[in-house]
Amino acid sequence: MKYLLIFIVVIVALMLHKKNRAASDQLSRQRRDGQRLSPPEPMHACTHCGVNVPASRCVWDAQHRPYCCAEHARKG
Does position 58 bind Zn ion by CB under 5 A?
no
Does position 66 bind Zn ion by CB under 5 A?
no
Name which position in 49, 57, 60, 74 contacts Zn ion (CB under 5 A): 49
One-letter amino acid for residue 14 of the chain: L
Q: Tell me which stretch binds Zn ion (CB under 5 A): 7-15, 36-44, 45-53, 55-63.
A: 45-53
Beta strands 52-54 and 59-60: pairing type? Answer: unpaired
Q: Tell me which stretch binds Zn ion (CB under 5 A): 7-15, 26-34, 42-50, 56-64.
A: 42-50
CB 55 within 8 A of CB 68: no
- Considering beta carbons, is residue 19 or 74 the nearer one to Zn ion? 74
